[in-house]
Structure 1
Amino acid sequence: MHPDHTTPTAPTHTPPKGRGRLRSIAFTLALGAAMFAAGAVLLTPDGTTAPRPADHGRAAGAPRGSIEALQARVTRLPKDPGGWAALGMAYVQQARTTADPATYDRAEKALRTSLSVQSEDNTDAETAMGALAAARHDFPTALHWARRATAGDPYSSSAHGVLADACTQLGRYDEADEAVQRMVDLRPDAASLARASYAFELKGETARARALMRRSLAAAATPADTAFAHNVLASLDLQDADPRAALAETRTGLTAAPDDAALLETRARAHLALSDTTQAVADYRAAVAIAPLPHHLLGLAELEQSLGNGAQAEESYAVLRAQDRIREAAGDPADTDAILFEADHGNPRRAVTMAEQTLRARPFIAVHDAYAWALHRAGRETEALAQADEALALGTRSALFRYHRAAIHHALGNPEAARRDLTEALREPGFHPLHADAARDLLQRIDTTP
């Protein structure tokens, strides 16, 4: 999978007794659903990953009824900090799955209300503020809130999860591993095991990542947890050049969560690897209809372009441009999809500027890769190679990263290095609607050049 597009969940610590226990249970449900369903950038390369992010699965958005129930609760109990924290996380979930950034403002308002009601010993709201900052790709702020939460409650599993997420995206991988280990020690559940899986996936240890994700699946307590685990396992199958296994995983996951956009996207990639472009387009369109997130839109547009459907591709590209204008007006750093889109379909020099801004706030491997590609497209090959090497420094198995570095090696006159990276990239034959064919063409040119 792309390292930025998947996100493990993070249930909270064992709740205290009495009224505090009830508050914490409500918050746990909201935080777990939001972080698992939202696909924030937490434990995977961007946007994963992973997502997605992370980043960096994304199930359907927070049920409207759950938000309405929480709204009714805080209306009835306006001094209930746990209720406000749970409502804030429900809004984060809704924003992440609907791509509606305005909902983040509602989330922040609810969380700050929780903190105003209880400014001290409010780990729920502090953890949620960290999750909100991570969802906004403001990882320094996420780190601040995660440290505050873990200092206030060292036994909060979810707080250590947000700490791991922030450290991962800030390139502090050893600190992230420590936070993941602490999370597993405190609560070896679906969320912590998913993060442990991702930690190994980042290092290219996919067998260990798969084993841990199987354990996460066995521990899954909700349809969203189940869907997320199947999505990661399917993505690992694609990395291992087994699209039929990936297809089976996604179908099983969609049985648990039929409207999970991340599973639909991964199933689209599996269909693409099997040359079933009709079904791939259908699944991409379904994912976009549920969650018009940048990487869903970009995947659909580039697939349409590869099929010669220029008008349909341009529709999605237009939405991506509109989303980027909104981001730029807000002063937010770009995600990797926006950088890659600008590099391939816009102004490469602008993509370089975007990547430099993002890298300052988020020195994550996926950002190094996007920066490398932008530099390559702008003709700055020596600088591009340094960034491409940084993107692959952990040993991450990413066909896209490998293809990017191969193109840079070729531009620098090193066909043997390019061949090695192309061969590795093409282990996943359908890794990209446009670049997979470009990789095959480049490898053929290298092999036929005396």
Structure 2
Amino acid sequence: MKSELVKNAAISTLVGATLVTGVITLAPGWGDESPPPAPGPAARAAAAVGAGAPASPADLTALIGDREMWLRTHPRDEESWAVLGSAYVEQGTRLADAAYYRRAGSALRVSLELFPGEQGNVDALVGLAALANARGDYAAARTSAESARKQRPQRWTAYPALIDAYNGLGDYAAAGKAMDKLQELHEDAQTMGRAAQILRDKGWREDAAAMAYNAAATADAPAEKAAALYRLGELAWERGEPVEATGHYDAALRFAPDHHPSLAARGRALAALGRTDEAFRDYQAVLTQVALPEYALEAGELYASMGLDGDATTQYERLRAP
């Protein structure tokens, strides 16, 4: 059972890896009608948005609240609608809550009604691409991201969503070309992290690990550091090194204790090491945060291996829930 658990968990690694790269990537700068948030959590999230880096969950929540409040009195601010829509996408991905995707679609449509995409509303087009990627509609994501890129070919923010769309469609050559352009336009920890994923997909695992180490060393904010360390952990896990992987997940959680991909991955690695009590603790904690299907599957297999058939059945039922 343990070998089966490890085998199936390796598959879910690919799913989890896409979550940490689904960051907001809007261009910095605010229009005349859209001042930046006041100093504090919302401002930190806005800064992360501008840099294409992950914001902490608390800061992201603050940014959403700030833009919602602003738009109550400035409903024609298309830029804030685009920011809010993209923030909803990120929140929906983190919480596995499709309700945020519906809100994102509504906000982005309002932004495009006020300022159509063909007239230059690149931020809303990028938001639509991110939303389509989150929903697994990679063809729609490619269309929106390509439209944004054609209008602003030097605007780097369209490329992360375009890379995700190409990868989702299996067009790895196009994803590689888009990655090259992104690196030319914008080099930071997030870009390095995406490059590591591209290298990993090509089977160049040593190069991927080197790039992932660079991303971890370059990352500044705690949420960004956690995402980079998580990626290092995933690469170690795929090499069959659960002890090293656990070390990376531990480090990620020291920077961001609420980074649920690292928490679930650590549970998976601990299970592979036979440390089932600790794995049980991590899965209980992560499923309290967010009930993603891959987490429920891994937890169910762990519980079954421990003879906890009732708990295993509860997790499997989550997979069948609509």
Structure 1 residue 272 displacement after superposition: 1.5
For 2:247, the equivalent position in structure 1 comes to 248
For 1:102, the equivalent position in structure 2 comes to 99
For 1:131, the equivalent position in structure 2 comes to 130
Amino acid at match of 1:100: D
> What is the aligned length?
301
For 2:227, the equivalent position in structure 1 comes to 228
Consecutive aligned runs of 4 or more in structure 1 exceeding 6 Å deviation: 23-28
The 3 A distance-change label for structure 1 pair 65 and 288 is same
* Alpha carbons 1:200, 1:209 under 8 Å: kept: yes
Q: Does 1:266 align with 2:277?
A: no
Structure 1 residue 127 displacement after superposition: 0.3
Between structure 1 and structure 2, the one with the greater Rg is 1
Amino acid at match of 1:6: A
What is the CA–CA distance in structure 2 between the aligned matches of 1:219 and 1:293, rounded to whole Å? Answer: 29
Q: Does 1:111 align with 2:122?
A: no
Structure 1 residue 63 displacement after superposition: 4.2
For 1:295, the equivalent position in structure 2 comes to 294
* Alpha carbons 2:24, 2:86 under 8 Å: kept: no
SS in 2 for 1:5: helix
For 1:444, the equivalent position in structure 2 comes to none
Amino acid at match of 1:124: D
For 1:4, the equivalent position in structure 2 comes to 15
Structure 1 residue 76 displacement after superposition: 2.7
For 1:336, the equivalent position in structure 2 comes to none
* Alpha carbons 2:26, 2:50 under 8 Å: kept: no
Q: Which has the higher helix share?
A: 2
Q: Does 1:77 align with 2:74?
A: yes
* Alpha carbons 1:305, 1:313 under 8 Å: kept: yes
* Structure 1 gaps, min length 5: 38-58, 327-450
Structure 1 residue 67 displacement after superposition: 1.6
What is the CA–CA distance in structure 2 between the aligned matches of 1:311 and 1:267, rounded to whole Å? Answer: 23
The 5 A counterparts of 1:388-403 are none
The 3 A distance-change label for structure 1 pair 286 and 252 is same
What is the CA–CA distance in structure 1 between the aligned matches of 2:93 and 2:67, rounded to whole Å? Answer: 18
Query: CA RMSD for the aligned pairs?
Result: 2.5
Out of 1-10 and 306-315, give the one that drifted further.
Answer: 1-10
Out of 175-184 and 270-279, give the one that drifted further.
Answer: 270-279
The 3 A distance-change label for structure 1 pair 320 and 137 is same
What is the CA–CA distance in structure 2 between the aligned matches of 1:15 and 1:115, rounded to whole Å? Answer: 19
The 5 A counterparts of 1:208-227 are 208-227=207-226
* Alpha carbons 1:163, 1:179 under 8 Å: kept: yes
The 3 A distance-change label for structure 1 pair 256 and 281 is same
The 5 A counterparts of 1:38-437 are 60=57, 63-119=60-116, 120-322=119-321, 326=322
Amino acid at match of 1:290: Q
What is the CA–CA distance in structure 1 between the aligned matches of 2:310 and 2:318, rounded to whole Å? Answer: 13
What is the CA–CA distance in structure 2 between the aligned matches of 1:70 and 1:13, rounded to whole Å? Answer: 14
SS in 1 for 2:14: coil
What is the CA–CA distance in structure 1 between the aligned matches of 2:59 and 2:110, rounded to whole Å? Answer: 20
For 1:377, the equivalent position in structure 2 comes to none
Structure 1 residue 290 displacement after superposition: 1.0
The 3 A distance-change label for structure 1 pair 32 and 14 is closer
SS in 2 for 1:79: coil
SS in 1 for 2:240: coil
Amino acid at match of 1:299: E
Q: TM-score, normalised by structure 1?
A: 0.62
* Alpha carbons 2:242, 2:272 under 8 Å: kept: yes
What is the CA–CA distance in structure 2 between the aligned matches of 1:17 and 1:73, rounded to whole Å? Answer: 13
* Alpha carbons 1:298, 1:316 under 8 Å: kept: yes
Structure 1 residue 79 displacement after superposition: 1.7
RCO greater where, 1 or 2, for CA within 8 Å and sep 6 or more?
Answer: 2
SS in 1 for 2:187: coil
What is the CA–CA distance in structure 2 between the aligned matches of 1:261 and 1:5, rounded to whole Å? Answer: 10
| Percent of aligned positions that are identical | 32
Residues 227-284 of structure 1 deviation map (CA, whole Å, 9 limit, x = unaligned): 1111111111122232222222111111111011100011112211221011111111
Q: TM-score, normalised by structure 2?
A: 0.86
For 1:402, the equivalent position in structure 2 comes to none
The 3 A distance-change label for structure 1 pair 10 and 300 is closer
Structure 1 residue 218 displacement after superposition: 2.2
* Alpha carbons 1:9, 1:191 under 8 Å: kept: no
The 3 A distance-change label for structure 1 pair 144 and 291 is same
Amino acid at match of 2:160: G
Structure 1 residue 117 displacement after superposition: 1.3
Amino acid at match of 2:110: T
Amino acid at match of 2:77: D
* Alpha carbons 2:267, 2:279 under 8 Å: kept: yes
The 3 A distance-change label for structure 1 pair 160 and 6 is same
* Structure 2 gaps, min length 5: 1-9, 38-42
Structure 1 residue 64 displacement after superposition: 3.1
For 2:3, the equivalent position in structure 1 comes to none
Structure 1 residue 318 displacement after superposition: 1.3
What is the CA–CA distance in structure 1 between the aligned matches of 2:78 and 2:198, rounded to whole Å? Answer: 33
